[in-house]
């Protein structure tokens, strides 16, 4: 299958804004009261063959409010674009199993490609599953570093996803030999000792990521109880579904939608949790970074469409001018 083209101009523009924000954040970031006691170096332990879960960098950035840039993709049958995003230096891949026909098998291929280029994968599961733990487990087995729960509207929703992602004593995730722990084949840790399954569990609990999406007025009204749950790493405010819930379908830049998104972000950050927002272009990135959002997410299909539209428009302009 031919790889979907990710517009180099769109991708580079987002990355340029992101790098500038990262430099600024390095001198101005504050320590959030809910960050983990271990730093990123301390969490880079005890998983053989360097699965992304062996590296605590992404979770450390989320827990300390640093800017991160990811891309949500529904191109689940193509792996080249996942590798490309890793090579370009994005922080994470958001594999979408809600707004796509992806399943655990197709997402597993994306994860393998992303891992090859050092790119962690978070999976947004579908909404409405009665067994959140069982549904999430398939993507965790496939090698996801974390799970993103859509349509979060209560503390109970958050408890379910924490139970799914974390092993006892924190959660209820089932333990077996799987990709993330090299199927229990062992290895050596950074200190030269043997890696045990117990080591792997500790590292997974330290570095696995729990994200939730708030995309309705009911969810925003429940933010205080949502944010009271421990082990939540970021809350993403989804403007498209929120606009629909407000009767402004698709008007993600309507002042009323932007105002509600902004206020939700303030509530999230005041609880010491990173807030996330959509960046369809570089201007979106700058706008919402200036409002304080830290977890910015582009869209692979938009990057592809904008690149394709730009080329076609330029070609038509040239031909209609008689080659001038």
Give the model's pLDDT for residue 19: 58
Q: Which one-letter DSSP state was computed for residue 276? A: E
Position 185 confidence tier, pLDDT thresholds 50, 70, 90:
confident
Whether omega for the bond prior to residue 240 falls within 30 degrees of 0, making it cis, is: no
Average pLDDT over residues 208-218: 97
Closest CA to 210 of 251, 249, 170, 242: 170
Tokens 């597993």 belong to residue: 108
Output the pTM of the full model.
0.86
Task: Convert the pLDDT of each residue in 72-131 to its tens digit.
Answer: 999 999 999 999 999 999 999 999 999 998 999 999 999 999 999 999 999 999 866 557
For the stretch 9-49, pLDDT in tens is: 556 656 655 555 554 444 334 333 333 333 344 454 455 45
The active-site residue out of 51, 76, 81, 99 is: 99
Q: How far apart are CA 263 and CA 68, in angstroms?
A: 20
What is the tens place of the pLDDT at every residue in 264-314? 999 999 999 999 999 999 999 999 999 999 999 999 999 999 999 999 999
Respond yes or no: is residue 99 known to be catalytic: yes
Distance CA 246, CA 127 (A): 19
The mean per-residue pLDDT over the stretch 210-221 comes to 97
Across the chain, mean pLDDT equals 87
Sign of the C-alpha dihedral computed for residues 105, 110, 113 and 117 taken in this order = negative
Residue 146, beta-bridge partner list: 122, 209
Question: Which region holds residue 272: left if phi is over 0, alpha if psi is between -120 and 50, else beta?
Answer: left
Say which range, 30-39, 44-53, 136-145, 151-160, has the weakest mean pLDDT.
30-39
Measured distance CA(303)–CA(81) in Å, rounded: 11
- The single-letter DSSP state of residue 2 is P
User: Coil, strand, or helix at residue 194?
Assistant: strand
Q: Which residues contact 74 (CB under 8 A, 6 or more apart)?
A: 96, 99, 100, 102, 300, 301
Q: What is the pLDDT of residue 12?
A: 61
pLDDT surpassing 90 at residue 133 = no
Residue 132: pLDDT band with limits 50, 70, 90: confident
Question: Is residue 67 within 8 Å of residue 293, measured between CB atoms?
Answer: no
């Amino acid at each position: 299958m031919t790889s979907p083209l990710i517009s180099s101009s769109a991708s580079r523009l987002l990355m340029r804004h992101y790098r500038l924000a990262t430099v600024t954040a390095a001198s101005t970031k504050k320590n959030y009261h809910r960050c983990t006691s271990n730093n990123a170096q301390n969490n880079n332990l005890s998983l053989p063959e360097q699965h992304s879960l062996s590296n605590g960098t992404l979770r450390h950035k989320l827990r300390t409010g640093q800017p991160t840039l990811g891309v949500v993709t529904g191109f689940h049958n193509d792996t080249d674009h996942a590798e490309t995003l890793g090579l370009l230096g994005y922080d994470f891949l958001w594999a979408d199993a809600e707004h796509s026909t992806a399943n655990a098998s197709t997402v597993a291929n994306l994860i393998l490609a992303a891992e090859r280029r050092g790119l962690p994968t978070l999976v947004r599961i579908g909404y409405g599953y009665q067994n959140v733990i069982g549904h999430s487990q398939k993507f965790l087995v496939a090698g996801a570093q974390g799970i993103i729960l859509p349509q979060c509207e209560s503390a109970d929703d958050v408890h379910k996803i924490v139970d799914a992602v974390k092993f006892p004593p924190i959660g209820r995730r089932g333990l077996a030999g799987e990709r993330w722990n090299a199927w229990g084949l062992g290895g050596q840790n950074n200190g030269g000792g043997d890696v045990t399954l117990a080591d792997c569990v500790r590292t997974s609990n330290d570095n696995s990521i729990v994200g939730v999406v708030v995309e309705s007025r009911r969810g925003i009204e429940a933010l205080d109880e949502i944010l009271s749950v421990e082990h939540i790493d970021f809350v993403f405010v989804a403007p498209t579904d929120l606009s629909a819930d407000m009767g402004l379908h698709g008007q993600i830049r309507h002042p009323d939608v932007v105002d509600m998104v902004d206020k939700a972000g303030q509530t999230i950050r005041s609880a010491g949790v990173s807030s996330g927002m959509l960046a369809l272009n570089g201007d979106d990135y700058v706008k919402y970074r200036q409002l304080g959002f830290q977890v910015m997410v582009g869209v692979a299909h938009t990057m592809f469409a904008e690149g394709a539209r730009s080329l076609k428009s330029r070609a038509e302009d040239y031909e209609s001018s008689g080659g001038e």
